[in-house]
Every structure is written in structure tokens, then in C-alpha cells.
Amino acid sequence: MPAALKHLVDILQILVDMLMIGMVSVSALAAVGMSMQFMMIINVLMTLYVVGGNALISRFIGEGRKRRASALLYSLGIFAVVLSVFVTIAGYTGSEYIYALMGAQEDVVEQGALYFKIISLGIVVIFIDTLLYNALSAAGDTKNSLYIKLVSTAINAFLNYVLIFGHYGFEAMGIEGAAYATVISYCFNVVAYYILIKKPHSKLNIIPIIRVKDLIRVWHVGWSAALDRGISSMSFLVFVAIIAAYGTEELAGYQVALRIEGIAFMPGFGFSIAAMALVGQSLGAKNIGRAYNMGVISGRIAYIFMGSVGVFLILFPEFLVSFFTKDAATIAVASYYLILVGVAQIPLAIMFVYSGALRGAGATKTTLKVNVLSLWIFRVIPSYIAYKMGYGIIAIFVIMNIETLIKGLIYVYIYQKRSWLYTKV
């Protein structure tokens, strides 16, 4: 539950950002929404050390080897810092090109470049924050991450108010102010995590030992997870490019609705983290039966929560969207999206949790195959064909939901086979 609530707060932070940025302009709103897609690409690199690190740290904790887990955390931290330098350079120098490549209109490119250059300068703290959160979650500590996120979200909201609109003596910075607020809130997270893990009772500590063997084990699991995330992210970018081709209102409507749907994602992400940690710890303790049951229980709770939120999305779409924009065309597109995805929340919950359980066991090659084939065969290619044939944006949303259903059914089949439980890490 703390992991689920932490992800809810993540979504609320994004929603507050978009609510305030939406008051600037539709172009700014679309630009920030597209930046979320770029962060998916950056998440690919984080997956190199996060997923494998989660699988190995959870197994070490299950085996009672806290010192070994803490040494691995230190090693992964060094790797994350070095990697972030290259990402910062690429993001800062190539932001305009990235937006233009996505087919965004000129005003969206201009606003997006201003925003993403600042975010790129804060990539190092984003990388470290992601590592520490996932490592502590794998060790079983999700409560402290929730508390830290609650405070940083309040800081982010206050700084948005001050920097976007110009209050308390600051000039109005618009979309740039939102970027600065985001980076500062991540800096707070890293400082808070550092104070936490230095305490004696922490689930993990910082032990300055680098074990190359453990890093190799992490990368052995992580490369396929990163490839999975990378191809999936590129698939989503192609999918967003198809939507962008319909126009700025359609793109903005999709981005707003996606952020609102993120509230329904909350239990799925949270219990995916829970399944990943508990499955890994159970396998470390050599308890195969418990590992399997942890995924099943997490899945049941997740689809009850997400199904309930899905009903709300179906019944009150325009009411939800109206908080973020008053543009009639944007509201219409977002409302259609929310009605359709509300129906798909249960298979989406199953997909989240079961894929998380498989990653916790180290079966990342399996999730790679399922996600890539499903996205391209059942979503991206059919969506492109529908666009070329002249179908409207609603047809694209229908295709997306059908792909979600198919993928959920595939994960149920794989999970029940149980062969993933014997993956070696």
C-alpha cells in the first residue's frame, strides 16, 4: 500500500504540474506531455541497473545478506552518476531536435526545448532518486519513500506556483519555472534518502565496496529489461507521433487523459513493486510456493483498485479533464480516451503485476518478448494503418485497448505455467 500511495503521489505531482502549465498555453501543455515520453527513453538507461539491482538486492535480503546488498547499492550509485553525465549532454544539446523529430508543431518545439534543457541538467538527481527508491523497495522499505515523496511534492507544488506565475518577488517564468521546480524537488529527494540510509536501522546502508561480479549479474538481468523498455518506449513514441499527426488538440487531449489515467495506474505500479520485491525475497529464501502466491495476491488487489477507478473514468470523464484545460476540442479527445481506457483497467492491472513478478524473478527475457511483440503487432502497426486509412482518433484508442487486453491474457498464461520461478540470476 505505501508503494501504491507513493505512485499516486507521483501522479498527483504530474497532474499539478500539468494543471498549472495548462494555464500558460495549450502548446506548453502539449510540450510537457511529450517530455514525459522522452523520459520513457531515459528510463531505458535506468532500467540497466534498476531492474537487475531490484532482483539481486531482494534476493540478498531474502538470504539475510544485508551487507552484500548495501555494497551493491553503492556500486550501482557510482554507475548511475557516470551514466547520467552522458544523458545530460545529449538531452541538453538535442532537445529541439527531439521535439521536431516527433512531429510537434513549431510552438510546441519552442516550449518543449525550454523545458527539457532544464530537466536535462537535473538528470543526475533523477537517476539517483530512482535507484534509491527501487533499492529500498526491493529491501522491503516503502513507507519512508512515501513520506519523502509527500514532502517533495508539496515543495514542487509551491515552487510551481512561485516560479511559473511569478510570486513573492520572482518573475513569471512559465514553462521554465515548472522545470526548475521539478529539479529542485528531486534534489530534496536525494538528500532525504541519503539521510535515511545513513541511519543504523535502515534496510540498506552505504558500504563503499564494488563487487564486479555482482554488477555483472545485475547487467545480465538488466540488459534484456533495458532492451524491453527501450523498444517499448520507441513504440510508444511512434504511437504518440501518430496521435500528434492528428493535431495539437488531439495530442494535448491524449497527454491530459494519460496523466489522469495515471491515477488508475497507481495500484498497478504499487503492487507491481510489491510483487517484484516479495517474489525476489521469497526466491532468495528458497520458498517457491510463496513467490508464486505473492504475485497472485498482488494482482488481485491491484485489479480491484484499478477496476474501481476505471468505473469512475467511464462515468465522469469531462469533469476530470475540465480541471486541466478549458479548450473544447482537447476536452472532447481526452474524454473519449478516458471512457475507453476505463474498460481496460483490469487486464492492465494483471499486466503490471505479473510482469513485475517476472522481473523480480529475473525473467526479463520473457517480458521483453511479450511486450515488444504485443506493442508492434497489436498496437503500433494497426494504429498506423488506421491513420492512413482515414479513421479518427477514437479508432486509435480502441486499438490501444485491444492490445492491452491481449497482453494481459498472455501474461496470465505465462504466469500460470510457473517456469519463470526457476530463472537463475
Q: Is 168 exposed, middle or buried (0-12, 13-18, 19+ CB in 10 A)?
A: exposed
Closest alpha carbon to 222 in 386, 106, 33, 52: 52
Within 10 angstroms of residue 59's Cβ, the number of other Cβ atoms is 25
- Which domain, by its residues, includes 27? 2-422
Residues in Cβ contact with 320 at an 8 Å cutoff, skipping those fewer than 6 apart? 260, 313, 338
Across 210-237, average pLDDT: 82
Please state, in angstroms and as integers, the Cα–Cα distance from residue 203 to each residue in 6, 74, 126, 147, 228, following that order: 18, 14, 21, 16, 29
pLDDT band at 370 (very low <50, low <70, confident <90, very high): very high
Phi then psi for residue 110, to 5 deg, are: -65, -50
Average predicted confidence (pLDDT) for the chain: 84
Contact 174, 22 (CB under 8 A): no
CB 373 within 8 A of CB 326: no
DSSP 390: T
pTM: 0.74
Q: Has residue 151 got a pLDDT over 90?
A: yes
Q: How many CB atoms lie within 10 A of CB 402?
A: 14
Q: State the DSSP code for 422.
A: G
E strand segments, 238-320: none
Q: What percent of the chain has pLDDT over 70?
A: 97
User: Is the model's pLDDT at 327 over the cut of 90?
Assistant: no
CA distance 36 to 251: 13
Which of 16-20, 66-70, 277-281, 342-346 is predicted with the least confidence, judged by mean pLDDT?
Answer: 16-20
Residue-level pLDDT at 241: 84
At 105 the pLDDT is 66
Is the pLDDT higher at 222 or at 394?
394
Taking each helix axis from N to C end, the angle separating 328-343 and 345-360, rounded to the nearest 10 degrees, works out to 70
Single-letter residue type at 351: M
Question: Looking at per-residue confidence, does 270 or 409 come out higher?
Answer: 409
DSSP assignment of 85-132? HHHHHHHHHHHHHHHHHTT--HHHHHHHHHHHHHHHHTHHHHHHHHHH
Q: Which of 157-166, 256-265, 268-277 has the lowest mean pLDDT?
A: 256-265
Over residues 104-147, the pLDDT tens digits come to 666 677 777 777 788 888 889 999 998 998 888 888 788 888 89
- Compute CA distances 110 → 105, 156, 164, 348, whole Å: 9, 23, 17, 35
Question: What is the number of structural domains in the chain?
Answer: 1
Residue with cell 484508442: 397
Q: Which residues, at least 6 apart from 89, have a Cβ–Cβ distance to it below 8 Å?
A: none
Residue type, 360: G
Indicate if the pLDDT at residue 380 is higher than 70. yes
Cell numbers given for 88:
545530460
